[in-house]
Structure 1
């Protein structure tokens, strides 16, 4: 897992980011999602590092990254990653992203278009579309969007009482089973979930997505990016139930291409070879 990767901590505005770095070549940033850490990329990071300079951080407040202010908007998280990559000497780079990391990547393209050469977005719809299609069917499956964004510290306190129960329920609820995760990866997610600061970050992240992030996205409606965009989603997941993911993302990325993968939400860990092949083919064309 992450053979020949080094570890570093970089100070950015409002956070200290933990990251692993490996390989040489064109810079490639891998962004994880909820309720995971950078470790989710362990199944393909070593292979990608054979051809690219791979940077694998924890989002602010997640994993081993430490948030120092209360800004958990995707705008702040996108700025974090641009600052991180600049610190490492990379002004322009490719981004491969999943879940919350993919929402961060979407905002990064909008706010920092000169820095992102291409983007891959895994198993999400645009944030505005999620809220606009939030009916009873979706709310039962995405209940955490509503629960984590509740005001005050009630969600944090309830989760902290049984953090592993909550984590396992979240993972199973989005994937269908727990045994898809390598023991070392699951252990990393469990360690993070037992940290009250990580729990607080989850809640702050989803609160921002229900408020400020929506304002940011509404302000940018109609803007598009011509960069290459790969969209993958789990055939057995939730994303394609209401909308065609490609059509939804083509409103932001007209050249988006992609397909469904025979997986649930955590397609990188469920179908690593298929996802790796799609990533390699995407990057070879840009």
Structure 2
């Protein structure tokens, strides 16, 4: 499927690459780590008939700019990334949208829901629980599986230097081990090539680490403050979790989200973490059904 490409410049001068396909009500699709907008391609055929699908590359990923991190790790905070999404909506003259986010994109999506509720109609979260909740859920087994949360959050440039020693091998190993089948076969060739290329780019590799540094520092603090203030997501929410993914290892991930949002439905899919590429029919059907519902 051919995507149209244009760029949006945010209030801090970061260029965000935006890709589009389809017609109808606007639906933003936000990718996660270590991917970019291409991870959504397998589900687009089920969405573009009724939706104008808008696929930004998050700052630091894909074709977007990768600004340098700051000492407080706010440059890649999900609050900052959510403001990037506001800039995209303003540039496209969109008042209110639906949003689906996977992995790091899901963290941007729920932060957007909390910080900019007036701009959101419906929200779908794929394969995460809130950042502060995930840190608190850690057991020895989960720490072993999700070691990258600690590793990538280490001070620069230690993780960048270690990964750069063989960036493709590290990305391939990460992608492979997070799938249900432990295989790279689920990824389209051009998508896999793009994931490898961005990991080999020193600026983007540093940005991806900065994304996780923000997760440990500012994102965790923002979540804790919202929880203490009893702030909750007002938009109707669909939580899609993989039976062989990370949230499934935390116990009852849907119950966690019901403490954070007023109206949560959940759907499990038979896949590993990369649900859109491993189980596109299941994910596409779940999203299509949810976003076609009226308020």
For this structure pair, what is the TM-score category when the shorter chain's length is used for normalisation?
Answer: over 0.9
Does residue 257 of structure 1 match 2:255?
Answer: no
Q: What stretches of structure 1 move > 4 A for 4+ residues in a row?
A: none
How far residue 243 of structure 1 moved from its aligned partner, in angstroms, is: 2.6
**Paired position in structure 1 for 2:210:** 204
Paired with 1:59 and 1:22, the residues of 2 have a C-alpha distance of 18
**Paired position in structure 2 for 1:269:** 277
What is the Cα-based RMSD across aligned positions, in Å? Answer: 1.2
Paired with 1:158 and 1:45, the residues of 2 have a C-alpha distance of 36
Residues 14-33 of structure 1 aligned to structure 2 (within 5 Å): 14=12, 15-33=14-32
**Paired position in structure 2 for 1:213:** 219
Conserved 8 A contact 2:127-2:240: yes
Conserved 8 A contact 1:141-1:173: no
Runs of 5+ in structure 2 lacking a partner? 70-74
Runs of 5+ in structure 1 lacking a partner? none
Paired with 2:103 and 2:246, the residues of 1 have a C-alpha distance of 12
Q: Secondary structure at the match of 1:62?
A: coil
How far residue 69 of structure 1 moved from its aligned partner, in angstroms, is: 4.4
Q: TM-score, normalised by structure 1?
A: 0.96
Q: TM-score, normalised by structure 2?
A: 0.93
Paired with 2:191 and 2:16, the residues of 1 have a C-alpha distance of 19
Q: Residues 90-133 of structure 1, C-alpha deviation per residue, up to 9 Å, x if partnerless?
A: 11100011000000001001110100111100011111111001
Does residue 119 of structure 1 match 2:123?
Answer: yes
Conserved 8 A contact 1:10-1:16: yes
How far residue 234 of structure 1 moved from its aligned partner, in angstroms, is: 0.8
**Paired position in structure 1 for 2:77:** 73
Paired with 2:5 and 2:101, the residues of 1 have a C-alpha distance of 20
**Paired position in structure 2 for 1:147:** 151
How far residue 261 of structure 1 moved from its aligned partner, in angstroms, is: 0.5
2:93 to 89, 110, 117: 89
Conserved 8 A contact 1:228-1:255: yes
